[in-house]
Amino acid sequence: MTPYVLITGASGAMGAAATEALAAAGQPVLMAVRNPEKAEAVRSGILSRVPQADLAIAELDLASLASVRRFAAALEPGSVAALFNNAGVIAKKYALTEDGFEQSFAVNYFGPWLLTRLLLPKLASGARIVNMVSLTCKLVDLDVAGLQPGPDDFSQLGTYARSKRALLSFSQELARRYPEFAVNVADPGIVASNMIDLGHWYDPLADVLFKPFCRRPEKGVRPALRALEAGDGPRYYVGRKNREIPRCFLDASFDARLWEATETLTGVSS
């Protein structure tokens, strides 16, 4: 069996765009999704345009560490050629998951962190790992205590940005500890998707005045697709370019402390 590219959030706008692009290039894709029924509709649409597509669907809820563990346990060693941690969420209000994590951090950081760690022994030789980050990372600071924000610390975009900042830190530490894998990050820019519907009264206005000027999902996912082809890292893929991780994110000591704190919180040790 040819190893799959595993894409989380594959039924969303950018996940579906990445799935179709890879399928059209002849790459088998494992669509890891929270809603398999929605994913089946996406899969059927892709097959209508790319009849030869090799697409599988598996249920994965990144907001649940138990779901992540079940998903990872079901995969065979060597079955994943590349992991694209694409799924993300901007939580509309403060709430905790069953594991006691704030929603944005659960889906954007803790879930991908645990999934990646559990899959490391099962990845094919020379596998690539791409984590989707955000330009908003540059607008916030993060400390270890920030992994578990309280109600007074929460804001939709600020908490989202910090969760993505944590994922960027994880990417760098992962590359240090596991140099046998190509680890990179991708920044899609501002993409016209349901993710930027923040649940405010002005969302309909944004649909008319803002979204038309945002990138389409097919364009937003291109940096990640280029990163999935790369054989080295870590690099920061954005637009048509890739470059070294921006200097403002370089703090190896912080990356190590965040890694260790996350091991404690998730119950996974090195």
- pLDDT tens across 10-44, in order? 999 999 999 999 999 999 999 999 999 999 999 99
3-state secondary structure of 33: strand
Q: Is-contact 257 170, C-beta < 8 A?
A: no
DSSP label of 92: S
Q: How confident is the model at residue 202 (pLDDT cuts 50, 70, 90)?
A: very low
Q: How many CB atoms lie within 10 A of CB 243?
A: 9
* Domain range summary for the chain, segments of one domain joined by +: 4-266
Q: Active site residue: 4, 94, 109, 160, which one?
A: 160
How many Å apart are CA 169 and CA 176, to the nearest integer? Answer: 11
Does residue 206 register a pLDDT over 80? Answer: no
How many Å apart are CA 23 and CA 14, to the nearest integer? Answer: 14
Do the bridges between strand 4-8 and strand 80-85 make them parallel or antiparallel, or are there none, so unpaired? parallel
Question: What is the mean predicted confidence (pLDDT) over 93-102?
Answer: 97
Task: Judge whether 160 counts as a catalytic residue.
Answer: yes
Question: Where does residue 117 fall: left (phi above 0), alpha (psi -120 to 50 degrees), or beta otherwise?
Answer: alpha
Q: Which fold has domain 4-266?
A: Rossmann fold (3.40.50)
Of residues 118, 106, 9, 11, the one with CA closest to residue 64: 106
Q: Is-contact 18 46, C-beta < 8 A?
A: no
How many Å apart are CA 104 and CA 82, to the nearest integer? Answer: 24
Which of 56-65, 107-116, 182-191 has the weakest average pLDDT? 182-191
Number of alpha carbons in the 13 Å side-chain half-sphere of residue 237:
25
Q: Which residues contact 27 (CB under 8 A, 6 or more apart)?
A: 5, 54, 81
pLDDT at 97: 98
What residues does 102 pair with on adjacent strands? 96
pLDDT at 189: 85
